[in-house]
Amino acid sequence: MPSSHDAAKNWHAIALGVVGEGVISLDARGCVEYLNPSAQRMTGWPSELATGSHVSNVLPLIGLREPPPDADAAALSAWFHSSADAHTTLRMRDGSQREVQIAVAVVVDGHGRPEGLVLGLRDLSQTAHLMRELARQASYDPLTGAFNREEFERRCRRLLADARAGGGPHALCVLDIDQFRLVNETCGHAAGDALLKEVVSALRDQLGDDDVLARLGDDAFGMLLPQMSAHRAMQAVQQAAGTIEHMRFGHGDRPFAVSCSAGVAPITAQARDIDEILVAAEAACQVAKESGRNRVHLFDAADADVALRHSLMRWVPRLEAALEVGDFQLMFQDIVPTASGIASGRHLEVLMCLPDASGKLVSPSEFLPAARRYGLMGRIDHWVTAQVGEWLHWRAGTGRAMPELVTINLSGSSLGDGQFRNFAEEQARSLPPGGSFCFEITAGEAIANIEEAGDFIARMKTHGCRFALDDFGCGLASFAYLKRLPVDYVKIDGQFVRDAASEPVNRAMVEAIQRIAAVMGVRTIAEQVETRPVFECMRQIGVDYCQGYLFGDRQPLLGLP
C-alpha cells in the first residue's frame, strides 16, 4: 500500500501536470528532478532526457552568463533571481528561441537550509509576438504596407539630426497620384485601394535599400532619400514618376492612365523642424500640380510660385489648431447709415482675427487665402455662424439690444455645400426674437450651383435672414450674381470708393452701381470709407450705408454695448 508521502507526490504531479505555466524542480546541485508537461513543451526537453541533467543544459538563457558549475542551491537561487521577473530568451533543445519569464522559489529542509529550487516559467512568446505586431502596425499603413506618417516623421527627424551633425546631404519628396479621385469616384473605393497598392509596388522597385516610402494621406506619399543631394533626388523621383506614368491600371473594362505630381525639398541643417521641410516639399508638389500635373518640382525659396504656396501652407496647421480649440477672436466694424453718419452699433459686420504668438491680432486677409486654397473655409464658416448665433442668444438672455443687421462673411464653397446650408437654416430657425443673420457673399468667388444657392437664399429669407453681395463691381461675376441671386445689399468695392472724391472715373463707377442697385430695389454699402470727403461724396451719390475706418477701428464683438 503506498505511503501518505507517495500519495502526496502523486497528487502534486497530477496538479503540476495541468498547470499552464512551466514548472522545473532542481536538486541542491542544480540538476533537474522534474519537468511538468508545460516545461517540457517550452524547453523541448522530454522529462526522461532532462532528469539528472544540469539546469544550464535544459534551460540555456541567451544573453546571460552560465551559473558556476559547482553552484549550490543558494548560489543558483541568486543567479536565477538576476533574471527573475524579467523577459529573457530561452534557447530550446532544437535551437529555436522562446521569450520566457522566470520565477524562482527556494526549497529548504527542516533546518532552513536550501536543498533545491523550483522554477516557474511563463511563456511570453505569444505576448512578444503581439507586441511586435502592434509595433509593426504602429509604423505601417495597413492598406499598402508602406510606412505611415508617424514613422515617416520619426525617420525624417533622424535625417534632420544627422544633417545638423554634419551628415548628408538628404532629401524629402511628397508625391500625389493625379488620377486617384477619378478612379475612386467612377469605380469605387476598392478600385482606388487597388491603385494605391500598385503605385506602392512600383515605387518600391525604384527605391534603394536605405530609402523610405510612406503613405501620408489618401493619395499622398512621402519618400526620404538619404545621402542624396536635391538634384540627385530630383532625378530619382523623376525616374519613379516615369515608372508610374508607364503603369496601366484597369478596373473591369475601364483602363486609366496613371501619373503623379511630386515636390522635392532638401533636408538641411538650417531647417527649423521637419514641418518646415514637409511644407516646402508640399508647396513644390502644389506647384507641380498647378503647372499641369505629371511633373516634379524642386523647392527653391527664390521661386515666387513656390514661395507663395509655402507661405500659404504654413498657415494650415495654425488654422487647424485654431478651429479645434476655438482660438479665433470675433470682432465687428460698424456699417453706418449715410443719412446720419453716426455709428450706433445697430448695423455691423462680424470679422474674425487670429492671435499670433505674442497675442497680436492677425488680419483675416493674411490667413484666409490659405483657408480658401486648402479647403478650410467650410469649417471656418460653420464656426463663425455658430459663434454669432450663440452671441445673439447671449444678448437676448441678458436683455441687451439686438442689432438690426449682423453681417457674416460666407464663402462660395459653403454656399454650395448642402450640409452647411442645412446647418445655417437650423441656426437661423432657432435664433431668439429680433435676431437675424445677413450672409455676405464675395462677388469674385465661384458658386458651384447658382440655382441651389438661389433657392437657399429664398428659403433663408423666410427665417428673417438677408444677403449682401460683397466686392461688387470688381468683376463680371458681380452683375451675373446680382441678376440671379435675390440679395438685399450690394457692397461697392473699396477700390472704387477710396478715391471717388478725387477720381472722376471711380466716382462714375460708384454712381453706376448705385443706379443699378436702385433699379433692382437693392440697398448699397460703400466699403473703405476712410476720409470725410469720401463720405460726403457717397452721401451726394445716394449710397445707403458706409463702412470704413472713418467710423472707427474694429472692436471685440463681446464689447458691443
**Per-residue confidence (pLDDT) for residue 388, from 0 to 100:** 94
Task: Output b/e per residue, 499-521; b: 16+ Cβ within 10 A.
Answer: bbbeeeebbebbbebbebbeeee
CA 123 to chain centre: 40
The neighbour count for residue 234, using CB atoms within 10 Å, is 19
Q: pLDDT of 420-472, one tens digit each?
A: 999 999 999 999 998 889 999 886 665 667 788 888 889 999 999 999 988 88
Q: pLDDT of 381-431, one tens digit each?
A: 999 999 999 999 999 999 999 999 899 998 888 887 888 999 999 999 999
Grid look-up 533546518 returns: 111
Could you give the domains of the chain?
Answer: 4-129 (3.30.450.20), 141-313 (3.30.70.270), 325-559 (3.20.20.450)
User: Worst-scoring range by mean pLDDT, 69-73, 128-132, 243-247, 557-561?
Assistant: 128-132
Q: What is the DSSP string of 325-372?
A: HT--EEEEEE-EETTT----SSEEEEEEEEE-TTSPEEPHHHHHHHHH
Asked if residue 524 lies in contact with residue 544, where contact means CB atoms within 8 angstroms, the answer is yes
Beta strands 170-177 and 220-225 are antiparallel
CA distances for 252 relative to 184, 187, 296, angstroms: 14, 9, 30
User: Worst-scoring range by mean pLDDT, 152-166, 169-183, 243-257, 293-307?
Assistant: 293-307
Q: pLDDT of 192-210, one tens digit each?
A: 888 888 888 888 888 888 8
**Per-residue confidence (pLDDT) for residue 330, from 0 to 100:** 93
